[in-house]
Amino acid sequence: QLYLYTYRPSTGKVAFIKIEIEKRSIYILWKDMWTPGWKIEYFEHRGDPYFLSYKSTGEISLDRIRSDGTYQRMWREVLRGGYEYTYIPVSYISCLTFNVFHDVIKNPVKSGRWQKQVESISKLSPDIICLQEAYDENLRNLYVSNFSDNFYIYEASPSRRTQIFGKFLYHTLTFLLVIIIQSILHVISSIVASTSLLNMINFFVLYATLNIYAFFTGNLERLWQFFSGSSSGLMILVSKSIGVPIKYHQRLFGYQDGDFLNKIKPRGIQILSLNSGNHVFSIANTHLNTGVENPSRINQIKEISEYFSPNRYPTILCGDFNAHDIQPEMKWLLTDGGFTDSWLETTSDPGYTWDNENPLTVGLLKEPDQRVDYILYKDGEEIGIEIDKCELVFNREPYLSDHFGVFSFISWRR
């Protein structure tokens, strides 16, 4: 099928027509009557067709054609007469921030949840991907192999303290599981007198416990990946088409109090600087302390602000901040910290990224619906940032994580 946008300048009649070639059918989706003298130019922006209509008297109109064939009037203005109009396409980049959810209870490999993540993200085709909780080496390899045209960065080596604690915990839990199995068999043998019946019961108990053992050791393996993998769980993937990396560093926060996990998995921030060919810009990725209300987070927020003060180049800051936008630390970051929230720039919707309707949120954390995942930005000295669009992704079944993703289109301005 194809679409035709028809216009008769002498009368002002316009129509949008869908043609289904195989059916040899023509459908008039809509028609309208404008005043004569209009000129119409067609262009595409983010895959959507647009029509820019104008006339010498100064009237100008922009219409977007939706996928169902209907049109949306973006704006219509009347300027002074005599203008000549030229369409200049705006260069933009797309950015995704997403907490992948390192679940140690339900196996994301067997369920295919991680595989579905990369398939869904591939369809979005973001230029920048910022991931949190990417502790597992298998998960990181999955992303690297599926986004082979991207630069990627992550911290692969944990601290020595984390490795020692992880080995101790892993082997201790495995040893306790074996002791439990032996105790069950010992209790049964002391109760049952018949040798044949005892052997039969022992067989079924052993069969059941081996399955339980396999289940738990599978989870213990993911627990081990948590300790043996990346300390921060942060990962950035960047399309090679938007720039060349010129500098990268990862910093651990000086303030690690307020979250017991920080003792073994200290939190921090990734900062990647790229040269786009026209200018330099930075991408930052972070994951802050947990808790609906956590006074310690303000210290990490202020450290982030210090990293980008002064801010010579435009910066995109992504991450799971674990804080709703009503929390004082987020208010501080968006005022004194100098950052702007791309979500608040484009919509008034609540934009909850932690939603209790999502079954994957059921577990250790019981928290209210809140917006904790952000794409923030800060202008540079000469180059600024504009947000063209910001939306939630992966917020419907099949759910891919306990968090929803945030996806934004970003353009540059001088």
Strand order of the β-sheet with 235-239 is 150-154, 235-239, 128-132, 92-99, 405-413, 384-393
- What's the average model confidence in pLDDT over 305-312? 90
Residue 67's pLDDT band (boundaries 50, 70, 90)?
A: low
As a whole number, mean pLDDT of residues 341-349 equals 93
153: enclosing H helix or E strand: strand 150-154
By CB atoms closer than 10 A (0-12, 13-18, 19+), residue 374 is buried
Residue 99 has pLDDT above 80, yes or no: yes
How far is C-alpha 355 from the geometric centre of its chain's CA atoms?
A: 15
Q: How confident is the model at residue 108 (pLDDT cuts 50, 70, 90)?
A: confident
3-state DSSP call for residue 303? helix
First to last CA, the chain: 41
Alpha helices in 192-296 (DSSP H): 195-228
Report how many helices (DSSP H) and strands (DSSP E) the chain contains, helices first: 7, 19
In contact, 304 and 321? CB cutoff 8 Å = no
User: Running DSSP on this structure, what letter comes out for residue 250?
Assistant: E
Q: How far is Cα 236 from Cα 161, in angstroms, rounded to an integer?
A: 25
Quick one: pLDDT at residue 253? 92
Is the pLDDT at 315 greater than 90? The verdict is: yes
Mean pLDDT score across all residues of the chain: 81
pLDDT at 209: 57
**Residues 405 and 385: beta-carbon distance below 8 Å:** no
Q: pLDDT tens digits for 134-172?
A: 988 889 999 999 998 899 998 765 555 555 555 566 567
pLDDT of 120 above 90: yes
Give pLDDT, residue 90.
53
Residue 320 has pLDDT above 60, yes or no: yes
